Chain A
Amino acid sequence: MSLDYVKVSPGFEKYIAKEYRDFVEHGPFGKKVSVSQVGTFKEALEEHPMCAGCAMTLFIRLAIIAFPNPEDTITVGTAGCGRLAISQAMIPFVYGNYGDTNAVASGLKRGLMTRFPDKYKDVVVMAGDGGLADIGFSMMMHSWFRREKFTTIMLDNEVYGNTGGQESGMTTRGAVLKMAPLGKKFDKIDMPQLAKTAGCVYVATVVPNNPRRVESVIKKAVLIAREVGPTYIQAYTSCNIEYAIPTDKVMEDANNVEKDRYQFQEYITDEAKQYLADKWGYSEYKKKEIPGEVKA
Chain B
Amino acid sequence: MYLKKEYLYEHDQPYKVMPGPEGYVIPAAASMGVTLPDAGGGLLYGELVTEDVAMEEIARRLLTDPNPTLHPGPLVIWAWNEHAIEKARAVIGIAAEIPDLMIIPMADYRPRYPKVDPEEMINPNHPNLTIWHNKEGICVFVGVHCHYANLTLKMIRAGTNCCTVALCAEQGHEDAMLTVRDCDAAKLWKLAGVIKRVREKMGIPAPTAAPTGGFGPVDHKKIVVHTPEEWARIVESARTGKNFAMAKAVGVPPELGRPEGAI
Complex contact A10–B88 (CB within 8 A): yes
Complex contact A17–B117 (CB within 8 A): yes
A88 to B108, CA, bound (A): 10
Q: Does B244 contact A (CB under 8 A)?
A: yes
> CB within 8 Å of A: which residues of B?
72, 76-81, 84-85, 88-89, 92, 103-105, 107-108, 110-114, 117, 120-121, 211, 213, 225-226, 234, 237-238, 243-247, 249-252, 255-263
Complex contact B112–A17 (CB within 8 A): no
Complex contact B79–A7 (CB within 8 A): yes
Given contacts A12-B72, A17-B120, A219-B257, contact A4 B247 (CB under 8 A): yes
Task: Taking A10-B89, A15-B105, A69-B256 as given, write out 4 further A-B residue pairs in contact, using a Cβ cutoff of 8 Å, ordered by the A residue number.
Answer: A4-B78, A15-B225, A69-B252, A219-B259
For chain A, the bracket of interface size reads: 35 or more
Q: List 12 A-B contacts (CB under 8 A).
A: A1-B252, A5-B78, A9-B79, A12-B105, A15-B103, A16-B105, A30-B250, A30-B252, A68-B259, A88-B113, A216-B262, A219-B257
A8 to B108, CA, bound (A): 12
Complex contact B77–A12 (CB within 8 A): yes
Q: Does A167 contact B (CB under 8 A)?
A: no
A-chain residues with CB within 8 Å of residue B78 when the two chains form the complex: 4-9
Given contacts A2-B249, A4-B80, A17-B117, contact A11 B259 (CB under 8 A): no
Complex contact A216–B263 (CB within 8 A): yes
Given contacts A10-B79, A17-B120, contact A3 B249 (CB under 8 A): yes
Shortest CB-to-CB span from B224 to chain A, Å, is 10
Given contacts A48-B113, A69-B252, A223-B257, contact A4 B238 (CB under 8 A): no
A14 to B22, CA, bound (A): 35
B-chain residues with CB within 8 Å of residue A2 when the two chains form the complex: 249-251
B-chain residues with CB within 8 Å of residue A14 when the two chains form the complex: 225-226
Q: Does A121 contact B (CB under 8 A)?
A: no
Given contacts A12-B72, A15-B103, A216-B262, contact A4 B120 (CB under 8 A): no
A89 to B112, CA, bound (A): 10
Complex contact A212–B252 (CB within 8 A): no
A7 to B225, CA, bound (A): 19
A32 to B259, CA, bound (A): 8
**Chain A to chain B: the 10 pairs with minimum beta-carbon distance, closest first:** A9-B88, A7-B247, A49-B113, A68-B257, A219-B259, A216-B263, A3-B250, A17-B120, A2-B249, A7-B79
Complex contact B110–A88 (CB within 8 A): yes
B-chain residues with CB within 8 Å of residue A93 when the two chains form the complex: 110
A49 to B114, CA, bound (A): 5
Q: Does A18 contact B (CB under 8 A)?
A: yes
Complex contact B88–A12 (CB within 8 A): yes
A87 to B125, CA, bound (A): 13
B257 partner, pick from A8, A20, A47, A69, beta carbons under 8 A: A69
Output the nearest chain B residue to A12 by Cβ-Cβ distance.
Answer: B77
Q: Does A164 contact B (CB under 8 A)?
A: no
A-chain residues with CB within 8 Å of residue B257 when the two chains form the complex: 68-69, 120, 219, 223, 280
B-chain residues with CB within 8 Å of residue A16 when the two chains form the complex: 77, 105, 107
A-chain residues with CB within 8 Å of residue B247 when the two chains form the complex: 4, 7, 10
Shortest CB-to-CB span from B6 to chain A, Å, is 33
Complex contact B85–A10 (CB within 8 A): yes
A-chain residues with CB within 8 Å of residue B117 when the two chains form the complex: 17
A18 to B217, CA, bound (A): 15
Complex contact A4–B251 (CB within 8 A): no
Output the nearest chain B residue to A72 by Cβ-Cβ distance.
Answer: B252
Contact string against B for A residues 198-221, beta-carbon threshold 8 Å, 1 for contact and 0 otherwise: 000000000000001101100110
Output the nearest chain A residue to B107 by Cβ-Cβ distance.
Answer: A20
A280 to B259, CA, bound (A): 9
A69 to B237, CA, bound (A): 35
Given contacts A3-B250, A9-B78, A11-B88, contact A213 B111 (CB under 8 A): no
A84 partner, pick from B113, B121, B243, B245, beta carbons under 8 A: B113
Output the nearest chain B residue to A279 by Cβ-Cβ distance.
Answer: B257
A-chain residues with CB within 8 Å of residue B252 when the two chains form the complex: 1, 3, 30, 69, 71-72
